[in-house]
Structure 1
């Protein structure tokens, strides 16, 4: 093993048959490792002003050193960058077809596949921050630093890690894969990906598919901050999602997600087999839970809600949210009322003195009164031809209960629901 030190001049150094190390310096140098496992070490490379100097690896073994010059490496298997320099870059963007890269910065591994005349080449790349891929199908993984990763052309796959990263797919059908992250993620409308427990925030650009970690819960698609005029259509069982207007339609695929928060527009949100939390936010939404014990929140607007199979929960945050239609409410389902939005109702299971039912509002109010209501706030279930209407009133003692102070919350479809299947136990008040 030999150690060769570059000078400030243009050096041409050939190694031995052993494992050699070349110490990079300024100048336009040529390092040929020969046989063995050889290293080009730029860990102490500094500018003329003693600042740490970053380097860029090019596909043909070129090393760019900023104002310090450029080197050419031949038969060198390990490249070490200066750990104190920012944005040390692996740049494969000019690689000829059909070459592609498979890089993992967390393990300092770079594999170049389909290299003409050579096949597969393996390198150790240490202290690198950023990657620019080929125009083929690349596999790119960062580390715990704030990485800038770009796929360029091809159908690229990025593997999410901790840190505040930029994942830019470029052209092609690209994927950000967060399997193995061990943390829940939340995807925002602009492509921002928040990683729970201070795992960092990624900026995904031109990424068509985002895969969450299926071994953790709470993976969420949060479209609540989408631009005014936008609406969301998503089906968690297929992963397909589209965002419509006010800009051109954006189509994405989301896999292993549990929960959805809609836009201010009219959304269509369909769950899957898991216990989903589906929140329409504002607008007149269509929300379907599919299988699983789901939680549906229509939010403001007149929403169409269907829990699907399982024991489902419908949450109302305020008496003023609008009138919903619940298509499949059955006896094992529940309606939860947020205490801050329903004055006079105490936390916990709805008290008998706060519930009344009948075939008219007056009859329902009388039932609440007969039950011994200590104040006028109550939930009233009213049987109609269309199903059971669920009302909140703060005037249960008055025969004009349906007037000022009364709000219709939902109609429970007659296909599944009548007064015999709804009672006080279906309602709770939550914080």
Structure 2
């Protein structure tokens, strides 16, 4: 490893002296120093280039530094850098129009936010106002963001030190590989998960529940593609009990699963759809709530009790328009679908066949996970130390991975090429060979 250049050393010194990092004990950090990025590559200050199979936080769907998006941001900055959300400006209207081109029928309004967490926050607010109910039902294996209600709706450990919001209850969603329901098939897992969900609804008091909030495909929890019919079953339960269905597409949306929205692959239309990340690949922070016409109508003569200073920020909106238009013109979503079906699916299956540490492969589009185990029979998860060593080896092999718990999430930009996937698969193969030997 070579030393970083002068700017890189300064960046690291300033970071360690003054920057407080999320979800971390500060003293043990040694962050990579990034000098630039392009396409599917990240360029470090020490001269190394890493193939980015993390998409950062699974958000750079269009890749790094796409010229149409960076040009649109620069052009908008020269024209109008900022404006309050109460005014009408062309980039905001065009961004809403662009997002709605890919929404299900029955949606014609968008509320823009600064990111995914506050998109979920405001969707839950809408559901509570419309229904007059308080409770939100979400799953234990989920992540919905780090704001008041969103983090309590989250199911993983990050919820526990942050449980200040009221009215949140949780249930188990389907996860056939580690079933909570003693299921013996994917179909049975879906059926039993729906039965469990209805029992929770009834036990909590259906008339007290405003919303069911689900990630269409839980991402950070393990890329848990729902069984066929599960989401349609949730929709039916929501309808039966007068509950609004909110689908969180923050990570799964805008090409990640090989379709514009992950819900496009399931027979379901929710009442509210939250999005962020891939809508403009995070070039400028942006998110939003797609509002069904029925919910939007509720606020025609009632005040919506929410707002954000930077809602629909012009720079972010310009990036949204440019991103969606580039994805449409360059067939980037179609590329993600083809890569998933023709390249990643067989390539990852071959890794599973070759390595006993790979307990399961699951995913779609450019949204995959390898679940790693010490024993394929007991399915005991690989521990933190071994996963840390695996991550370090992948970095040494020139790959920037997304490692979560006992999993490698294979989540490159939607623009990834066959050759780049082949390079990544070779790196995974070498690192898994080392892991197998250590186990």
Does TM-score exceed 0.5, indicating one fold? no
Name the structure with the higher helix share: 2
TM-score (norm 2): 0.20
Name the structure with the higher strand share: 1
Larger Rg: 1
TM-score (norm 1): 0.21
